[in-house]
Amino acid sequence: MINQIIKKWFKRPHNAPSAHAVTLPRAEHNVSRKLISVNALKVLNRLHSANYQAYLVGGGVRDILLGLQPKDFDIATNATPEEIKRLFRNCRIIGRRFRLAHIMFGRETIEVATFRASHSQENPHGQQHESGMLVRDNVYGSLEDDALRRDFTINALYYSSDDFTVRDFTGGLDDLKLRQLRLIGDPETRYREDPVRMLRAVRLSAKLGLSIEANTARPITSLASLLNNVSAARLWDESHKLLLAGYAKETFTQLRAMSLFAPLFPATAKSLENDDGTFLNFIQAALDSTDLRARQEKPITPAFLYAVFLWQPVQQRQAQLLEQGMSHNDAYHKAMGHVIAEQNQFISIPKRFSLVMRDIWAMQPRLENRTHKSYRLLEHPKFRAAYDFLVLRAQADEALASTASWWTRYQEASPEGQRSMTQALGKKRSGKRRNYKKRRSQSKPQNS
């Protein structure tokens, strides 16, 4: 069905210039109101009733055309944020750089943006940093203007619930057919306007299985350092989209290939440079596990992946502190704090997640050094996360395999079996102490 629909889109030469949108009538596309959020349709209908233009745009249209189930439904309109707010009591206006209207329906939020246009630096509603990055972009325009201001052609497709058409101003339908991701306009200029577009290119490529068009990909490596101009708080939000959507492993591979990983995780990137393969295997095992959980719709915490990425930097920082004469325990906990503080300069990790990372790390020595009191660890609220962390470490390091296996068997054992396992540890430890005392007594000089 989808292939038949796609064939209808391309009755003109690829990327043929057009002064007007390519408009697909209802019979020539598969976007249906049945596939669109009821709340998004409510917003569209109310805007139409108030004589405003309104279109479903972006990922919602793109994903339906690709035969996927969209998760977000964004709307573009010629109504200003203030006019939108007057129509919807459940609306709040957010943002300074990009002013948006969020219309709240319980847990679902419909994002509504006013049509935007290009601007000059002198315009007070649109300002650029000397690097070229947009620091304010609230210059409003027409539907055609808005299409040209969007990032990728496949995100500039508009669906009207009024006449049920799909409109394309930038060749996005062509690019969907070619399964490629192409930036609208000059790539270097667009990346300088918003460096996060480089991350979006990788994310959409990995998520949708699209190739990045050659001109779109070419400047990325040389412009990767522009990510240093993006706020650490914004990159925290972007990291969720990159790593928690079920395509983390492919995303990670592409980020490294395009030099985008180092600006996000410099300590991790440095550790990987001198890695013997163990750390990389650990990261890839964690990414595989995270992707599987995402596909199974199981809960995922970004704290776990961040703990994985920063594990080797913590070990290396601890070794440096030990060389300075610090005790093993103090060096370990100091290293955690140092590494998290340094990472926060690039991606700001909220404290509620950094505390979880510390718990996972702190439990690793306790899981490795089993004693007859190890059963108490099962009561720790972060035991399961720390155990999963240990299992992934064991997949990359065979030396930990027996320890991880012991903890797996311990959790599966009956209460009697658990007691037997911990008692055996206690006897083993007692035997070591007795042997130690015997060696000490034999080494003492005999009184004459």
Residues known to be catalytic: 72, 74, 151
Contact 195, 223 (CB under 8 A): yes
Separation between Cα atoms, residue 413 and residue 296, nearest integer Å: 27
Separation between Cα atoms, residue 381 and residue 379, nearest integer Å: 6
Half-sphere exposure of 151 toward its Cβ, with a 13 Å CA cutoff?
17
3-state DSSP call for residue 146?
helix
Separation between Cα atoms, residue 351 and residue 344, nearest integer Å: 10
* Of 448, 374, 364, 443, residue with least CA distance to 409: 374
Token code pair at residue 32: 């249906």
Separation between Cα atoms, residue 307 and residue 358, nearest integer Å: 8
Contact 236, 349 (CB under 8 A): yes
Contact 33, 43 (CB under 8 A): no
State how far the alpha carbon of 94 is from the alpha carbons of 53, 103, 321, in Å.
21, 11, 45
